[in-house]
A and B are shown apart, each in its own frame.
Chain A
């Protein structure tokens, strides 16, 4: 029975699916060490493409710009997404709630070409009306990225907020703590893992985005994906293999670390909750003892 279970059809498909997901990435990393300029011919091991990257000024400034935008985006989207998640999970009735829910979740599926074009037209109209933004660049890309990554943060944080035990918050409120104090001292520490996950997600989304940035960027504000895209359009290149491998490595490492730390804090939390419950049961047993 155990044998059959182990080699079931679905297990087989899981392995096939994961191979499908990871083999292309592994191939890419492998070929980034190819000494030959001909991408398909193996010419021995070499790290020259990596060394060449540092001299590529244009690429380096695009990397820095992308990291800058991703940092701002992650901060703003985490704040906005957390507020949106609080509203959606805690305030059941207010005017425009359906509209609000729709606006928060729609960016998850909205095709990027539509969001990008519509935001560009908004910026152009705003520039005509109020004279801002006169130049499109880092700020407009940041606004675009924040708007669509807020949706992801809201989904991640609200799923945590929903399963949160609210007795601690209620106890603090009963003792006279102000709502904002309860929020910062009790709610926030309890949802930190999901905030970290949301932050990472927003950072990754911003770093990854090509379409929105292409629409709302101005001259001289090329981001890394835009730089890669214009090179890739002409075909496979060893330099791009090297950049791509570095990005894959950095992101996988960051994802793994965040996952690992959120999991260990989650486990600690569960352990302490279990301990607390055991303690409560024990004290209840002691109290009830004589009567039972």
Chain B
């Protein structure tokens, strides 16, 4: 009987299965791959299948582990890669700022609208995120090109005499990123602003504060959590963005996602692509941890 009890305690019960299934999946398909990326980043490109050398060699009864630092040295010496990292961070910072500038008033307006209208506004803001990003970016190609709609309109009004080059410049990349990521800024900001206690604002008004003052002294500081989540949701993925700089950007647009893609698909240099990914992860590690902390608080309630 006691043996049976012992067995019962050792065998996985419902709770363990509940934790185990998603845990095992994420461990295998999310965490383990990062270890492999790290491993391959120390390999050398090789003409073979798969196209990299093995780290561990067994010859003459000697076990040799070869860590090739060449990829990292290449990254630190080649100006192109450094410029791409800096370019990515710069583009991500500037577009996050613009998303906040445009998204904050939008979220504020939704949170102050009548309760029956709120879900409608939210749906209108969120609907595009359900449709393909690729298509929404593609729509801008038709608008921004030299003989596109925007240039046609500007020529028609007589503001310009010859078409402006907008497509394939950084300006187009900024427009595309703000366009694609705006909903991800509005949603967490709205979630935060909708929770605010209105009696604080009433108290401030009773004490003679103007709406302008009470916004900057009460509402804005209280929405810090929403601002952080929104900015992280925009900044982190934009650093590694590929589709938007590829379709809207030009030769001057240096972004690390694009460089990684070219190393992998065009040059078939898997180890250098891996090293690029490892460095990108290191840059994003602090923001990601920051985001995860905020999200954990949110998930636990």
Contacts and interface: CB of A to CB of B under 8 A. Distances in A.
Given A117-B37, A117-B274, A118-B36, A235 B141 contact: yes
Interface in B86-116: 102-103, 105-106, 108-110, 112
Interface in A84-116: 84, 86-89, 91-92, 94, 96, 98, 100-115
Contact of A100 (B14, B15, B26): B26
Majority-rule SS of B interface residues: helix
Interface in B120-153: 121, 123-125, 127-128, 130-136, 138-143, 145, 147-149, 152
A240 B18 CA distance: 44
A60 interface: no
B56 interface: no
B78 interface: no
B261 interface: yes
Contact of B277 (A18, A21, A118, A248): A118
A185 interface: no
Given A105-B295, A105-B296, A83 B145 contact: no
B21 A80 contact: yes
B148 to A, nearest CB: 6
Contacts of A211: 242-243
23 contacts: A13-B102, A18-B106, A21-B179, A25-B131, A39-B142, A40-B147, A80-B25, A81-B22, A83-B21, A106-B30, A109-B233, A115-B30, A122-B36, A147-B25, A147-B29, A210-B133, A211-B242, A228-B134, A244-B139, A247-B135, A248-B135, A256-B123, A263-B119
Interface string B9-40: 00000110011011101110111111011001
Interface residues of B, number: 89
Contact of B105 (A13, A91, A112, A201): A13
Contacts of A68: none
Nearest to A105: B295
B136 A25 contact: yes
B260 to A, nearest CB: 5
A31 B142 CA distance: 9
Interface residues of A, number: 96
B30 to A, nearest CB: 5
A200 interface: yes
A109 B34 contact: no
A189 interface: no
B131 A117 contact: no
A114 B19 contact: no
A106 B105 contact: no
B106 A10 contact: yes
A27 B140 CA distance: 9
A252 B273 contact: no
Contacts of A149: none
Contact of A122 (B33, B281, B295): B33
A200 B103 CA distance: 25
B218 to A, nearest CB: 16
B77 interface: no
Contacts, number: 261
B239 interface: yes
A229 B141 CA distance: 13
A150 B26 contact: yes
A114 B141 contact: no
B301 A228 contact: no
Given A40-B149, A204-B131, A86 B143 contact: no
A125 B43 CA distance: 13
Nearest to B29: A147
Interface in B253-301: 257, 260-261, 264-265, 270, 273-274, 277, 280-281, 284, 287-288, 291-292, 295-296, 299-301
A111 B132 contact: no
Given A24-B143, A89-B299, A106 B133 contact: no
* Most central of A88, A146, A254, A263 by chain B CB within 10 Å: A88
Interface of A: 8-14, 16-18, 20-22, 24-25, 27-28, 31, 39-40, 80-81, 83-84, 86-89, 91-92, 94, 96, 98, 100-115, 117-119, 121-122, 124-125, 128, 143-144, 146-147, 150, 154-155, 158, 162, 179-180, 200-201, 204, 207-208, 210-211, 214-215, 225, 228-229, 232-233, 235-236, 240-241, 244, 247-248, 251-252, 254-256, 259, 263
Contacts of A40: 142, 145, 147-149, 152
A113 B26 contact: no
A255 B241 CA distance: 25
Contact of A117 (B22, B136, B145, B277): B277
Given A20-B179, A27-B143, A244-B135, A114 B280 contact: yes
Given A110-B237, A150-B22, A228-B134, 19 more contacts: A10-B106, A10-B112, A14-B106, A21-B179, A27-B143, A40-B147, A88-B299, A100-B23, A103-B31, A104-B26, A106-B30, A108-B291, A112-B242, A117-B260, A147-B26, A208-B132, A210-B133, A247-B132, A255-B123
A111 B131 contact: no
Between A92, A110, A154, the greatest number of chain B beta carbons within 10 A of the residue's beta carbon is seen for A110
B166 interface: no
B138 A14 contact: no
B182 interface: yes
A14 B30 CA distance: 37
